[in-house]
Structure 1
Amino acid sequence: MLLFYFLVTACHLFAASHGATDAEILVNFKNSLSTNSLLHDWNVSGIPPCTGGSDNWVGLRCNDDGTIDKLLLENMGLNGTIDMDILMQLPNFSGKIDKDAFDGMSSLKEVYLAHNEFTGEIPRSLVLVRKLTKLSLEGNQFGGNLPDFPQENLGVFNAAGNNFKGQIPTSLADFSPGSFAGNQGLCGKPLPACKSSRKKTIVIIAVVVVAVVALSAIVVFACIRFGGGKKEDQSSDPFGDGKMGDSGQLHFVRHDRDRFDLQDLLRASAEVLGSGIFGSSYKAVLLDGPAMVVKRFRHMSSVGKEEFHEHMSKLGALSHPNLLPLVAYYYRKEDKLLVSDFIENGSLASRLHGN
């Protein structure tokens, strides 16, 4: 009887087609019921179901143009087995289904709404029918996103020929592609992948790259702002001016590295790699250790200790395949050192301009 209640409710909600054909269909439906005494005026040989806006048959509500608008058969004591084929002859149901149209239908298993003119989204109350096993929606004008159907026993599903869009939910991904044909906006398994997913990946990559460049620019800006324009002389003893001594210590930003101290750098053999307005770069080979690149900055005395530590923490947190990570740094008011691994891949200048 819950299935019967659904059909009656559907007829109550949506306009059907019109004319003598409707009368014949309704009479056939009446004759399929075991108990139908209250439908005594349903007779094709008598007056038609609707005349203008007049309701001539019990249980009907008519439009002003003589078409059937609603079928209300509640509380009439009707009984029997519904012949689905008879009611499916009432074509062109249209309009939006109320979101609560299926509330309370806990035993409903099969819903056939195919080849009508329904619009709007699938009502949430239908999605929540727990015992649903078959759902036929093809050939309508439903739209919006397909909801996620949690029913484990939903074995038949067809939403072809509608206006659905977006990603097909995983709960429906195992149905055949034909179940979703004719919906130009649908994508995802079993249909081709959504283009928006690939675009989203590209956007994420772009955001990461922009963030890396922006944080690098902060460090460069600080160097330009507080650094002097005087180039440092390329001496064979880059650290040996005798002023560093034990006045400070190296701060490691990568905790997975073997530690060494400032004195290890001072004792290392050094090779000048290049110099510029920010300072000079050296290759320092530690005793019984790896080769490191040391970037020495001078003329940045106006940079405070806390500000410098903050910039170095941000720089040390950067991670990208094309960035050489910062290993450690040293702070003194007169001198700042940035220490990173030495990579035998040449410089950017040699890559761009050759040897």
Structure 2
Amino acid sequence: MFFAPTVSQLEMFTLVVLLSLACNFLVAPVSSVTDEGSVLLTLKKSIITDPEGSMSNWNSSDDTPCSWNGITCKDQSVVSISIPKRKLYGVLPSELGSLSHLRHLNLRNNYLFGNLPVGLFEAHGLQSLVLYGNSFSGSVPNDIGKLGYLQTMDLSQNFFNGSLPATIVQCKRLRALVLSHNNFTGYLPHGFGGGLSSLEKLDLSFNQFNGSIPSDMGNMSGLQGTVDLSHNHFSGLIPASLGDLPEKVYIDLTFNNLSGPIPQTGALMNRGPTAFIGNSGLCGPPLKNLCAPDTHGTSSPSPLPFLPDNYPPQDSDDGFGKSGKNKRLSTGAVVGIVVGHVVGICLLGLFFSYCYSRVCGFTQDQEEKGFDKGGRLRKECLCFRKDESETLSDHVEQYDLVPLDAQVAFDLDELLKASAFVLGKSGIGIVYKVVLEEGLTLAVRRLGEGGSQRFKEFQTEIEAIGKLRHPNIVTLRAYYWSVDEKLLIYDFVPNGNLASAIHGKAGLATITPLSWSDRLKIMKGIAKGLVYLHEFSPKRYVHGDLKPGNILLGHSMEPHISDFGLGRLANIAGGSPTLQSSRVAAEKSQERQRSLSTEVSTGRLGNGYQAPETMKVVKPSQRWDVYSYGVILLELITGRLPIIQVDNSEMDLVQWIQLCIDEKKPFSDVLDMYLAEDAEKEDEMIAVLKIAIACVHISPEKRPIMRHVLDALDRLSISSD
């Protein structure tokens, strides 16, 4: 049934319409921003999270966007958008291409994802496109050829795939093309060298480009620095025209599938073998393998590019990851070694017997019962000063324990009455395993015994560390500070450290080998912990001393990074800053001398885990941790110690791997002998080895960030499922 509206209803409807129009008329002038401002607000809407408020002053009520954060204008037109390293999470809208005066777009080191919108390339005046260090994926659109004024394009450290569009050669003004650490595939476009003759910087490393290297690349006469084509699948001969590049240019062709003789022309002459390693088919100077008269650039395949078919026998291994020498020892030498070991063991037995009677002081009855005079479980007895073997309460003043976690349900009195077992000691202090009466197990580290003048500094530092919460980082639960005692209370991690898991424990002849699946789990867990420290912790921390000895293993062999910030806390707790700094300086000086004696030419530190630049740079960098992580990967793959004895000299693990590559040793010589049972996982092992080699690159800038390392390991796991 239809009802006709009454007059009063029509009047009411008319009034509502008029009021609505009036409101629109009054409100409309509020949004007075220019068309370009509206486009930028579209970008703001496309950003899902902006934790640092980078776009907080982007308001539609402004007359112009020229005062907005990250925006630069010229003649009231937007010419630059630059918001790097601000943790922006979102996508790019295609509307950005309508900014006709846009010259520079810099959004590096954020969390942007998705494809590059085709509409972006309608900004024909764009001169620089810098998007490295994000999570973009997909292919680069063919419309890239529309950017005739483009001079810089850096898309490195993303997840781009597909082939490089042929239209890239139309960007004839391009001076810097950086595409490293992506998943690009296919051949380089025809005319790549001739079309991009203005290039000054070219980095295509760590992709999956294949086919031959374009012969016209020799036309790029403006190239400078390093031309990096490494870690791809380029095949065939090295074009002799590469020698036409400026002689100062370093051409990095490592880890491809290149074959045949190395041309001895121009920029290719007088290069060391390191520029060509990882190409099993290459021959001739500067490599040791000469070209056979009938060679046509082919060679039989092998598990790794540097693995020949004929190779020397695998080095012997003593079960603790230490390589023996290749030469056989004479009978007299063997007898001498055995006698020496017997005498040494006897002397050590007498020495420990003396320490036991003088220091430990346990009675026969106590040893049998396993309890001390106070009824508590006897502590592990080692040869150290007597005051170090006493209970914690012997030295602690009765101040309050400071909890850093709401779940801390014990107090100082319970802690001091608990059973304590010495786990280990170092220059930073003793570590105890402490078992409370209700069964809770903790790890307690005693720090220095200095004064209390730096308490506020200690408090600030430790409470910042106490806020870190991640499954792969050991949790600091509480602390205690007094004039004579400083204690750090952590969760106890039961399965020892990674160093013992790889190489065995001192004094034990047997070792339980880690399976490949456990090793891969450990690799990924460490990477997750470092990503958290580097990108999601409040101060984007650097660990600075990462090594297997401070990676603890849980019940299921999950890794927990420990000792984070410990050096800083020990420095503060050590009392007099002057005395402490002098001690630290002396220790660093001794360490430097040891490292110089190990390897002067490379500048690497003697412990094998620290990056080469730590000898020169004072301020720690996240790239230091990446290098250390790379060494740990090598250690997990090879089962070798970080310092290796080769003939009569020592070298670190990174140098040894490079030597194996140079000498074309088979993968079986590189691989830990305990991983032989996981032969079906060899492809994974090779992939991890390549990741490790990338992490220990001598140039910090060429090392991947930990987020991309973790992504690579995750993709590896997915592909193997």
**TM-score normalised according to structure 2 size:** 0.20
Q: Which has the higher helix share?
A: 2
Q: Structure 1 or 2: larger strand share? A: 1
Larger radius of gyration: 1
